[in-house]
């Protein structure tokens, strides 16, 4: 299983990332061998190591490439949509089942607690995700959508905690009524509005 004829290095890398996402999601980090991923991708162990120096690095890169990206997808489809609407839409999905790759973050978080080789790239990954959300919040604050008195970093951290928690507490372990969950999130998101807007809403209700 050397490099497949006619397949570019970029295609081989993507093949490995897809295989890694699927195998890690199915077997977990500890239960996955490098040879398992190479076999699933149809390449040799040597070809895998030519692209990724370690199993830990491959886990985090697979998460970057094939982990949950609903917010980014929604933003790309409607870049002018208010950030609060985007957050509400994503939040409504958190209480629903996701595909196997949607739980890849769980494997990465668990592995990071036990293995510093995973923890290092995971800190970079989570830091990048948090900063990206914080930048969205800053833009929303500049447009008057979100209270400028709120910390963008704290709000981004809160969003990250919700997303991570939803991957751990799956609907199979504890479900919640969609309508009740949506009503709660609507209240939470409404509270993010600037104070004068919130006061005006209260006066009209």
* pLDDT at 112 exceeding the cut of 70: yes
For CATH 1.10.10.60, list the domain ranges present in the chain: 9-65
CATH no. of 9-65: 1.10.10.60
For CATH 1.10.357.10, list the domain ranges present in the chain: 68-204
**pLDDT tens digit sequence for 154-174:** 999 999 999 999 988 988 899
Q: Which CATH class is domain 68-204?
A: mainly alpha
Nearest-angstrom CA–CA distance, 59 and 28: 10
Do residues 178 and 92 make contact, with C-beta atoms less than 8 angstroms apart?
A: yes
**pLDDT tens digit sequence for 116-135:** 999 999 999 999 999 999 99
Close Cβ partners of 62 (under 8 Å, ≥ 6 residues apart): 17, 20, 21, 24, 104
**pLDDT tens digit sequence for 63-97:** 999 887 888 998 899 999 999 999 999 999 998 88
DSSP secondary structure string for all residues of 86-98: HHHHHHHHTTS--
């Amino acid at each position: 299983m050397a490099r497949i004829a006619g397949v570019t290095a970029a295609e081989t890398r993507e093949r490995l990332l897809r295989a890694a996402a699927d195998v890690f999601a199915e077997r977990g980090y500890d239960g996955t061998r490098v040879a398992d991923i190479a076999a699933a991708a149809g390449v040799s162990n040597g070809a895998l190591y030519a692209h990724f120096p370690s199993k830990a690095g491959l886990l985090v890169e697979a998460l970057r490439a094939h982990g949950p990206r609903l917010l980014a997808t929604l933003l790309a489809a409607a870049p002018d949509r208010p950030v609060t609407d985007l957050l509400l839409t994503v939040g409504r999905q958190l209480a629903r089942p996701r595909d196997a790759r949607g739980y890849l973050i769980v494997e990465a978080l668990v592995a990071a607690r036990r293995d510093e080789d995973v923890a290092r790239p995971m800190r970079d990954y989570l830091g990048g995700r948090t900063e990206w959300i914080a930048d969205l919040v800053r833009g929303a604050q500049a447009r008057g959508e979100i209270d400028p008195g709120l910390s963008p970093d704290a709000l981004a951290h809160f969003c990250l905690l919700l997303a991570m928690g939803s991957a751990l507490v799956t609907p199979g372990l504890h479900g919640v009524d969609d309508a009740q969950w949506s009503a709660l999130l609507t209240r939470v998101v409404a509270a993010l509005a600037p104070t004068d807007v919130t006061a005006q809403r209260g006066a009209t209700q």
